[in-house]
Amino acid sequence: MQRCRGGPAAANLWASMSTSQSTADVSVVGLGRVGLPLALSFADRGLQVIGVDNDAARLLAVREGRMPFQETGAQQLLERVHAGGRLELSERVADAARARQIVITLGTPSFSHIEIDMRDIRAALDDLLGVLTPGHSLILRSTVAPGTTDFVAGYLTKHRGFQIGEEVFVAHAPERIAAGRFLEEIDTLPCIVGGVGRRSGEVVGELFGVFGAPIVQTTPVQAELAKIWANILRYTNFALPNLLMMDCERSSANVFEVIDLINRDYPRGGIAQPGLTAGTCLRKDFAFSEERSAAPGMLLAVSRVNESVPLFLLEGIKRRLGALANRKVAVLGLAFKADTDDDRDSLAHKLIRLLERELADVAAHDPHVATPTVPFDQAVEGADAVVVATNHSEFREPRALAAIAERAAGDCLVVDPWNCWGAAQVFAYASELAALGTPS
């Protein structure tokens, strides 16, 4: 493994590689939560950027200077980039070839039967095949299953005869930034680059060197494994307290007290807190290992634990309140994690579907997501149960709990796997919370 630090010098070196046919420095294909902040950041570092997306509404928003989703600091960045005129937009993937460096940031979902779904990447590859020429680089920024980068290189050789690493460059440079922290982390997180052949790593390292973070050179498959296993580690770390939460309920134990006993002043503690664990990355990235695992089923079990949390919460409510038909349940939070507007693959939706199958009257509130929800006060008004599905900052305020106690039904059950208010109870009646000294 080699390490080097990029920076302005690397940017100049890379700029000198552009040929007279290139009208831009870098293209970013897929202006989603990864691609758009990346395209803006390249432009902000002085590169001429082509951003490609097939979603006309998304392109229109960017053209009009509106971020289509929340990302800290990105709106100001978009306005700055607009003023600088360094971002060109297109709906055609083939236009990406007007830049020497083409970064693919398309979605890579998983089929439900445990197999990476590469259809978007295959489609983009096919669109690019006819327009690639020697000197181009193709960089997979998307999260991919082990072997995908070599597949892409092989595909270009098979269909165009390119010598990868000499004429055309292919690498995996996985996105490792957490949503909401893009601009904070792009300059600092080590950028892993797994290049195919002799020179791909060097050429792609020079591109990402514009951000000044350390560039860590490795092989394509090691880059792929490092990315997916970082997410598998998080997914597994959260499954353990979630399983413990379920075990505690069966044993009439308090999960927060057990976690405190594990972690307090103990050098080998460190178990995480329970919660609803999903989102577009964690929920599917384990499958990229699972599809050809040496121990099939192990990560599937991790997934099953996290996926069972909504049912566990539902059953806990039913055990305490009885049948839920025509009872009002408020669900606070639809986003997959705190303080984001991304509710794709959030377990809150699964929880709502389960509640609706019990014929409960569900009222959801989320102050961040674009999915329509009702106002907070309306959601909790007269509720028989209130479930905190996402630990948004707004819900962690004592006044949120006070509003629940004031507006919900007298014997309202508060379900808080996140321990938002420090009451250390997954299931507690609003009256109990008041007796514990939490505001009511």
Ligand X SMILES: NC(=O)c1ccc[n+]([C@@H]2O[C@H](COP(=O)([O-])OP(=O)(O)OC[C@H]3O[C@@H](n4cnc5c(N)ncnc54)[C@H](O)[C@@H]3O)[C@@H](O)[C@H]2O)c1
Binding residues for ligand X (CB under 6 A)? 29-35, 52-55, 58, 93, 105-108, 120, 123-124, 142-143, 175, 179, 280-281
In the chain, the amino acid numbered 31 is: L
Least distance between ligand X and beta carbon 416 (Å): 26
Indicate the SS3 state at residue 389.
coil
Least distance between ligand X and beta carbon 21 (Å): 22
8-state DSSP, 178: P
Question: For the residues of 235-258, what is the DSSP string, one character each?
Answer: HHHHHHHHHHHHHHHHTT--HHHH
Pairing verdict, β 328-332 and 385-388:
parallel
Least distance between ligand X and beta carbon 57 (Å): 9
Residue 101 or residue 419: which is nearer to ligand X going by CB?
A: 101
Least distance between ligand X and beta carbon 276 (Å): 17
Least distance between ligand X and beta carbon 67 (Å): 12
Yes or no: say if 134 and 168 are a contact pair by the CB < 8 Å rule.
yes
Indicate the SS3 state at residue 81.
helix
Residue 30 or residue 209: which is nearer to ligand X going by CB?
A: 30
Residue 148 or residue 425: which is nearer to ligand X going by CB?
A: 148
CB atoms within 10 A of CB 319: 10
Residue 17 or residue 230: which is nearer to ligand X going by CB?
A: 230
* Paired strand residues for 191: 215
Least distance between ligand X and beta carbon 179 (Å): 4
Residue 96 or residue 248: which is nearer to ligand X going by CB?
A: 96
Residue nearest to ligand X (CB): 32
Give dist(CA 332, CA 412) in Å, integer: 14
Yes or no: say if 344 and 336 are a contact pair by the CB < 8 Å rule.
yes
Residue 55 or residue 377: which is nearer to ligand X going by CB?
A: 55
Indicate the SS3 state at residue 301.
helix
Pairing verdict, β 191-195 and 361-365:
unpaired
